Every structure is written in structure tokens, then in C-alpha cells.
Amino acid sequence: MSDKETKAIRIQAKRSHNREHSVPLYLTSSFLFENAEQARAVFADEEQGNIYSRYSNPNVDELLEKVCYLEGAEDGFAFASGMAAIFSSMAALLKSGDHVLAARAVFGSTHQLLTKVFSKWGITHSYADINAPETWEALITPATKMIIVETPSNPGLEVIDLEWLGQLKKKHNLILAVDNCFATPILQTPIDYGTDLVIHSSTKYMDGQGRVLGGMVVGPKDLIAEIRFFARHTGPAMSPFNAWIISKSIETLALRVERHCDNALKLAEVLEKSDKLEQVRYPFLPSFPQYELARKQMKKGGGIVTFAVKGGFDAAKKFIDNLQMVSLSSNLGDTRTIVTHPASTTHSKLTEEERQATGITPGLIRISVGLEGIDDIIGDITQALEKV
């Protein structure tokens, strides 16, 4: 870990003649060439160099170099948002007639992409049950090209065995994409288990302060080359400003993620004793159904705790409206503790059946545990629960 902590801080874009210590913001849409011959050579890929910020930019390149190092990846591309990264990766690598196998519990917008966008272009999908790995193989057809999963998932915190998944993808020669947004490379590096593409919403823990949107995909050179070609000519690139912000934030990623995890575990341990709650889920609680697996592939349990308030949506509403400090918002991975009610907000566009299948009950609450003093976080949440 210490090597990663060092690299997250010490990987920097090349200094200019000003010998700046902190990397400046390269707020420029295009770059100059020395002469016509250099312009020709850069366009012909004979010489390395920036052309236009839709293609590359020093701030974006610095961020990518860091995230590739942290994830153990060869190459990557940065996007305007996590969804731009997921959409572009799939659109670049799939064609009409292809089939995608997805874990049932994928992010709400990823679900919309699969069911409403890619379906228009003849790309089909099947959903697989995370708790029944023995059923996955039967869902793979000759048309299957890609597997896409999140672990831990949003908001159900379901954990998938990455080692098993790596073997499955190898056996069937598929592209395995893992959305590593909840764990971050501080807690788990899916490439170690044979994952091809690691996708991030850098909006979450990577920025970590709720300021900018961003997304990234990292993986082997050949797949990233295809994604880069698609992205360069369709235009979903990350802005230099957002890359500058996120790259700075990554200097403190390890420190922040560790504290998010320590706070989340303490909160989960307290909540587990509450008689107002039905089910407290946190990957590093011994009562968590996949506790052993989580311990095996994650360094700590992550920053998200979920629970169901007894009494359904009405009780959940009462709890939320009685919070004094904790923010009501749909974001996560922020310094501030945030409460979300998935059934009425982030996952409200799903049908009732789809919500049931992913464990999103009417009383389910998702807490993104922040970096405030743990006593204040526990104090606010327990006082609001007492009023339910």
C-alpha cells in the first residue's frame, strides 16, 4: 500500500520552465506545433504530443497515469462522467447481435442503458443472480461478448467473487468489465483476478468532495485503443479542470477511504443493535451474508452502510426528515455523510419487480458515511431513529 500512497502523490505532469511544485491547470482546447513537419508527425502518431483536449490533455494524462498505476492497468481513458465511461466502453466494443451478461444489481443508469438504449441497436442482455453463481454459465450464449458487474453493488452491497468471475470469463473468452466505484483501487484491484476493464465514476470517492463529475476506464492496451478511438470521435472526454481537481484529490484517496471505512464499520456496529431496523448490511460485519468473501477480496468494508427501517417508506421518511446534520442527497463518496432513499429516488425508475429482485425494499436507506467525527455521525442517526 505505501508504494501506491507514494505514487498517488508523486506521479505528476512534467514541470514547465516556471518550476511549479503543484501541477498547473492546462486550460487550453488545443496545442501548438513547432512547425508544419511536427504537426504532420504528431497527427501521424510518429511523434508523441497533445493535439486537442478532446483527445488528450496534460491534466487528464496525469490523472490517468495515477489511476492506471493504482489499478495495475496498462492504459486508460477519462470521461466527463461515470456513465460516459460505461456507455463508451460498451458502445466501442459491442456491435449489433452481441449479448451482455450483467449482474442483476447494476447502477440504475447502467440498467437503463441495457434495457432502453443498447436494446434499440440490437445488443441484448441477460441479468444474472449474484447469489446463485451456478446459474451464470447457462446464461452465456455464443453471442455473449461481455460481462459487466459491480462489487460491492449499489445500493444492495452485494459482493461478487472476482476470482471465480475471472475464471468464468477466461473459460468463455469474454470481456470482463468491473465497476469498481464503491471499492476504489485502495480496497480492491479487480485486474489481479483477470478482469479486463475497470470502470470508475470518479465523481464519487476519487473526487471525494462532491465537486466535479468524472469517469474512467482502465485496462489492456488493445481494448483501450478501441475505446479511445470511439471516445475521441464522439466527444465524451473529461475536462482539464475536472481532471486537475480529481488528480489532486487522489493524493488523499488512501487516507480518506481508510477513514470512510473505519467510520462506516463503527456506525454499522451501532446500528446492528437498533430495534428500529430490520436489516443492517455492511460487508465487514460478521452477520453480512458474504462476509468471508468480502474479507478475502477487500482490504476494508467500504464507506456505504444500508439498512431497512421497520415500517416501510413512511418510517424511512420520518427518519430522514428528523436528521439534523446528515445531508439528504443522491451522491455518495463525499466528505459529508449523505442519506439516500433509493426506492423513491435513484431507483424510482425501476419497476416494483425490478426493485424487489435487487433487494431495494420501501424502507431501504443508504448511508454514505462521511469524514465527520464518528460520534457526531452516530449521534445524528440514532437521534433520528429514536423519533421513528
Ligand X SMILES: *Cc1c(COP(=O)(O)O)cnc(C)c1O
- Minimum CB separation of residue 242 from ligand X in Å reads 10
Does the protein bind ligand X through residue 239 (CB under 6 A)? no
How many alpha carbons fall within 13 Å on the CB side of residue 246?
A: 33
Which residue in the set 169, 204, 256, 260 belongs to the binding site for ligand X (CB under 6 A)?
A: 204
Q: Does 185 bind ligand X (CB under 6 A)?
A: no
Task: Among 179, 196, 207, 380, indicate the residue that binds ligand X (CB under 6 A).
Answer: 179
Total number of residues that touch ligand X (CB under 6 A)? 14
- Rule CB under 6 A: is residue 334 a binding residue for ligand X? no
User: Which of 113-121, 197-205, 288-296, 319-327 is the region at the interface with ligand X (rule: CB under 6 A)?
Assistant: 197-205
* Segment interacting with ligand X, rule: CB under 6 A, options 36-44, 68-76, 179-187, 357-365: 179-187
Distance CA 157, CA 330 (A): 16
- The C-alpha cell that represents 130 in the structure block: 449474484
Among 56, 59, 88, 203, which residue sits at the site for ligand X (rule: CB under 6 A)?
A: 203
Inter-residue contact 182 to 176 (CB < 8 Å): no
Q: Which listed residue (181, 238, 304, 315) binds ligand X by CB under 6 A?
A: 181
Site pattern 283..322 for ligand X (x: CB under 6 A): ----------------------------------------
Helix spans in the chain (H): 2-10, 36-43, 58-71, 82-93, 108-112, 162-172, 184-187, 221-234, 240-250, 253-271, 291-297, 312-321, 352-357, 374-386
Q: How far is the CB of 316 from ligand X (least distance, A)?
A: 20
CA dihedral 299, 301, 302, 305 (to 10 degrees): 180
| SS3 of residue 375 by DSSP | helix
Q: Residue type at 143?
A: A
Member of 77, 87, 107, 127 binding ligand X (CB under 6 A): 107
Strand order in the sheet with 327-328: 277-281, 304-309, 364-368, 338-340, 327-328
Site string for ligand X, 64-83 (x = CB under 6 A): -----------------xxx
Of 67 and 213, the one with the shorter C-beta distance to ligand X is 213
Q: Least distance from C-beta 289 to ligand X, angstroms?
A: 20
Q: How far is the CB of 110 from ligand X (least distance, A)?
A: 6
Q: Burial letters for 133-147: b for 16+ Cβ neighbours within 10 Å, e otherwise?
A: eeebeebbeeebbbb
Q: Which is nearer to ligand X, 12 or 109 (CB)?
A: 109
Q: Can residue 154 be called a binding residue for ligand X (CB under 6 A)?
A: yes
Of 71, 75, 150, 207, which lies in the binding site for ligand X, with binding defined by CB under 6 A?
Answer: 150
The residue sitting closest to ligand X, measured at its beta carbon, is: 82
Cell of 244: 486537475
C-beta of 277 vs 281, nearer to ligand X:
281
Give 72-113 as a DSSP string. T-SEEEEESSHHHHHHHHHHHH--TT-EEEEESS--HHHHHI
Torsion sign across C-alpha atoms 155, 157, 158, 159: positive
Which grid coordinates are listed for 147?
460481462
Shortest Cβ 357–ligand X spacing (Å): 17
Residue closer to ligand X by CB (options 23, 212) is 212
Which DSSP letter does residue 152 get?
S
- Under rule CB under 6 A, residue 201 binds ligand X: yes
Cell of 339: 442519506
Residues 205-234 that bind ligand X (CB under 6 A): 213, 215
CB 314 within 8 A of CB 345: no
User: What torsion, rounded to 10 degrees, do the Cα atoms 283, 275, 362, 107 define?
Assistant: -10
Least separation in angstroms between residue 378's CB and ligand X is: 24
Judged by the rule CB under 6 A, the positions of this chain that interact with ligand X are 81-83, 107, 150, 154, 179, 181-182, 201, 203-204, 213, 215
